[in-house]
Chain A
Amino acid sequence: MNRSHFTIISSVVSVLALLTILVSCLMPFAEIGLNDSTQSYPGWLQSVAGLLVTFYKPFMPIGNDLTKYLKTQGVMTNLGDYAYIVFLSIAMLIASLAIGIVGREDATEKTVIPEKK
């Protein structure tokens, strides 16, 4: 395998890994309802709550969409749990893609036996 091929793969994998981490960070945020209310944050998080809200702000429209969809499906309570698993499953899908890309490297249709040293 040549070097450029390897670089492409490792960069794709690292992008996917970063995406997984990003989506995983959205999970706790999803659980409290994807909104800017900071009431349900634990005490030790209150000091950085403002920072977190700015980080999460771009994702709030998603939260609204999810909530709207769940309401049409008749879910009235624990909406956050559903939003949580959406991000969890997306994170798992991206992660499996990354693992798959790494793992397929040693998949083979051809076995050349290495020479003995």
Chain B
Amino acid sequence: MYQEILKLLNFGTLEIEKIVNKITTHKYNPFYYHGALPQFYLWVLYLSGLLLFAYYIPTVDNAYLSKSLVNAWTSVDYITKTLPFGAIFRGMHRYAGDAMVITIILHMIRVWFTDRYRQYRWVQWTSGILLFVLVLFIGQTGYYLVWDDRSLGLTRMTVTSLAWLPIIGQPLKHWFLNGDLISNLTMSNFLFIHIGLSFSLLFFLWIHYVRMTRPVLTPPPAINYILVALVLLVVFLCPINSGQMANLNHQPTTFDIDWFFLFPYWLMAKVSLLSYWLIMFLGVGALTIIPWFIRTKPVEAAEVVTNKCTGCSLCYRDCPWQAIEMVVAPANSRFKLLATVKPYRCTGCGVCVGACAFDAIDVPNLPDAQVLDQIKGLVSAS
């Protein structure tokens, strides 16, 4: 049943891509760069964030004992209203974040529908879920940093939800606020979480990419221009205005929701904290275990024909899965190196067979000899 639905979805994706191909050709089809799109937006976010970081002051009340009030909100206000192009970079930082979430969801849906998420791809899928959760959390911390009404509301909601958790609740709350109350230390903690976790994304991206040879990291320039231009147009169409400066003596009751990042808070306001945490944990858990729902017969890994392998490393270079390792050949060999297959990484695709000029590697499903027999059978049948 599930398989049937998946097959339909796969055909749907192919149909859409076929139409897009008619317009853009395969070279500029954004669907063929689905993983590179969020990666590109990550660079946009790093750059725009760097510029905002230069002017941002992470305090709740007056910093530097200056005469006029200098805090997070006023520094953001300065960036938006006075700094040349400050408003633009702020807008880019926010909307590139939204765009990153959209492209991540697109990426996720495509790998799901085209069945490219399970078996030998489980590392990519699970690290991808982790990355997605991290991106959402980093985006939320970005909303605290502005320190307007909404930030205060979100901070208080987060504190309540964290403190509710048994055993780890109080320590988490203490970590989150960097103390027991909202203070200047809280803001610097938020800034640290926001920036520190952003860079930890790179580590998890490394795990995301580590089993892939030559991962597609950047779309072609023409697509990049469109990606940036779209963000810029949104920055113009929906310019960002801060709300009122947060007032610790006042509890904000309503605020606008950014649906890409702040939907958990919408949920939190609707249901009890118990259901909230249940939905969150079960949701993430369910997404994580999806790859193991389908049982398929395990991959039969490629096998090296040891006495034919010359150690030329062509298969090692071509394998798209980093599944072949060149090891030192045994002492009685005429050659220096020997290819070995890591069976837990092998997908059985046979790219190594195509790369081998000596028939020295075979996929058990379809050995070379069988292919040659088929060729002879078809050509010389009488």
Contact = CB atoms under 8 A, between A and B. Distances in A.
A and B in direct contact, judged by CB atoms within 8 A? yes
Give the bracket for the number of chain A residues in contact with chain B: 20 to 34
B24 interface: yes
Interface in B212-251: 220-223, 225-226, 228-230, 232-233, 235-236, 238-239, 241
B28 A75 contact: no
Given A73-B239, A74-B239, A100 B28 contact: yes
A18 to B, nearest CB: 17
B27 interface: yes
Contacts of A76: 81
A2 B28 CA distance: 23
A89 interface: yes
Interface in B143-185: none
Contacts of B238: 73
A92 B228 contact: yes
A86 to B, nearest CB: 5
A81 B84 contact: yes
B333 interface: no
Contacts of A109: 26
Given A77-B82, A96-B222, A103-B222, A82 B229 contact: no
B87 A78 contact: yes
B25 A104 contact: yes
Nearest to B241: A74
A81 B87 contact: yes
Q: Which of A76, A81, A86 has the most CB of B within 10 A?
A: A81
29 contacts: A70-B239, A76-B81, A77-B81, A77-B82, A77-B87, A78-B85, A81-B87, A82-B236, A82-B239, A85-B88, A85-B236, A88-B232, A89-B228, A89-B230, A89-B232, A89-B236, A92-B228, A93-B225, A95-B225, A96-B222, A96-B223, A96-B226, A96-B229, A100-B24, A100-B222, A103-B28, A104-B27, A107-B25, A109-B26
Interface of A: 70, 73-78, 81-82, 84-86, 88-90, 92-93, 95-97, 99-100, 103-104, 106-107, 109
